[in-house]
Amino acid sequence: MTYKVAVQMDPVDAIHIAGDTSFALALEAQQRGCMLWYYHPHDLFLEAGVIKAVCQTMILRDDENDHVTLGPRKECALSTMDVILMRQDPPFGMAYITATHLLEMLPANTMVLNNPHEVRNAPEKLLVTSFNDLMPPTLISRNVDVIQRFRAQHKDIIIKPLYGNGGAGVFRLQPSDQNINALLEMFFASNHEPVMVQAFLPEVVKGDKRIILIDGEPVGAINRVPQEGEARSNMHVGGKAEAIELSARDREICAKIGPELKRRSLMFVGIDVIGNYLTEINVTSPTGMREMTRFTGQNITGFFWDAVDNLKGSYLGNGPVRSIPHKD
C-alpha cells in the first residue's frame, strides 16, 4: 500500500544518512510509492482543536552529499496523513511529552508510530524495569545514601541519566573511585530527575547487543563494541558495530517482552542486551537499522512497512491501548 507519510524528526538536512534509521525508514516508504513530508517538532501545534504542523514535502536520495530536497514550508492538518513517524531524538523532556499529548489527539485513521500515549508511558529506562527477572541489579533513585548503599553491595557500578540517550552522561564507578559524591552533586545540580544505577557487567567488553523488534518479533541484531578503556558502546561515542546472530538467550528475552510491546502498539523497538541481561528497551527513536541491513543483507526497513500494511486496517488509535473484548 502507499501512504501519505509525515516524519517528525530533528533537522533532516543535517543527518548522516549512513547510520540514520529515520532516513532509512522514510527512504523505504518513498521506494514503495509513498509521499513524504517532513516537519521539526518545534513546528507541531494545536489551533482551534486541529493538530497541525508546518510541513515540507520531502524527496530523499541515498547520497551522503545530496540526500534531500525539501519543498516550501506550508501548514497542514496532520489528520490528512496516513502515517506519522515520531522520530526526534530524546531528551525525554516536557517538549517531548507535549508532542506526545498533541499527537495522541489525532484520529485512528492517522497512525502515529510508535503510539504516542504508550511512548509517554514507557521511557526506556523505566519500561525495562517491568522485566526485573531479565535485568542486572538495578536502582532508580536520587537519594545519595541509597545510591551509596547500592554501590557498597555491588562495588563496580554504572550510573546513567534516566532520560538521556546516545551514552551521554553515562559513567562507570569502580571500587577504587573516590569521587562519587562530587559526581552526583554535579549531576543533581543540573537535573531534577533520579538516576539509573546498575551493576557493571564485565561482558560489555565483548559488546552491547542492539536487537530490533517489529510488532513484538525480533528481526535482527548488531553488536556494538566499545573502544578500549571505554564502558559505553554507543556508536555516538565511538562504539564499533559488528555482525552478530541472536543467541538462545536473546530469543528468550524477546519472547518474554514481545507480547507486552505488541499490546502497547510499540511497533518499532530496539532493546539492549549485555551478556545474558536486558539493560534497556528503547521506544522513542531506536537506531541500528542501516547497520543491520548492511551486515545481514535483509531489508529490515521493509519488515517495518510490511507490519504497517498488516496493522493499518485494525489500528485502534493513538491513545491508551484498549483491550478487545472476548466474544463468548
Where exactly does CATH 3.40.50.20 map onto the chain? 4-115
Assign 327 a pLDDT band (cuts: 50, 70, 90): very low
Q: Does 235 have pLDDT greater than 60? A: no
**Average pLDDT of the residues of the chain:** 91
Confidence of residue 233 (pLDDT cuts 50, 70, 90): low
- Is 61 a residue of the active site? no
Q: Tell me, what's the pLDDT at 238?
A: 62
pLDDT surpassing 80 at residue 230: no
- Our answer to whether residue 282 is catalytic in this structure is yes
| Catalytic residue list contains 160 | yes
Q: Where are the alpha helices (DSSP H) in 71-168?
A: 94-104, 116-120, 124-127, 144-154
pLDDT, average across residues 259-287: 94
Average pLDDT over residues 33-41: 98
- Whether 125 is a known active-site residue: answer yes
- The catalytically annotated residue of 125, 151, 262, 264 is 125
Q: Is pLDDT above 90 for 122?
A: no
Q: What percent of the chain has pLDDT over 90?
A: 71
232 catalytically annotated: yes
Annotated catalytic residue within 120, 160, 209, 264: 160
* 54 has pLDDT over 80: yes
User: What's the rounded mean pLDDT across residues 65-79?
Assistant: 98
Q: Are 159 and 170 in contact (CB under 8 A)?
A: yes
Options 282, 290, 291, 318, the catalytic residue? 282
pLDDT band at 325 (very low <50, low <70, confident <90, very high): very low
Split at pLDDT 50, 70, 90, the class of 205 is: confident
Instruction: Tell me the CATH architecture of domain 4-115.
Output: 3-Layer(aba) Sandwich (3.40)
Choosing from 20, 28, 124, 280, the catalytic residue is 280
Q: Where in the chain is the domain with CATH 3.30.470.20?
A: 203-314
Assess if CATH 3.30.470.20 describes domain 203-314: yes
Are 312 and 306 in contact by the 8 Å Cβ rule? The answer is no
- Helix (H) or strand (E) segment spanning residue 60: strand 50-60
151, 224, 262, 264: the active-site residue = 224
Q: What's the CATH class of domain 137-200?
A: alpha beta
Residue 322 has a pLDDT of 56
User: Which residues face 47 on adjacent strands?
Assistant: 50
pLDDT value, residue 326: 33
Q: Is 318 a catalytic residue?
A: no
Residue scoring higher pLDDT (327 or 140) = 140
Q: Please answer whether residues 17 and 293 qualify as being in contact, where contact means their C-beta atoms are separated by less than 8 angstroms.
A: no
CA dihedral defined by 25, 31, 36, 39, rounded to 10 degrees? 30
pLDDT at 118: 94
**160 vs 47: CA distance, rounded Å:** 38
Residue 210 annotated in active site:
yes
pLDDT of residue 232: 57
- Catalytic one of 210, 262, 264, 290: 210
Taking alpha carbons only, the member of 270, 285, 219 closest to residue 20 is 285
- For the stretch 137-166, pLDDT in tens is 999 999 999 999 999 999 999 998 887 766
Q: Is residue 73 flagged as an active site residue?
A: no
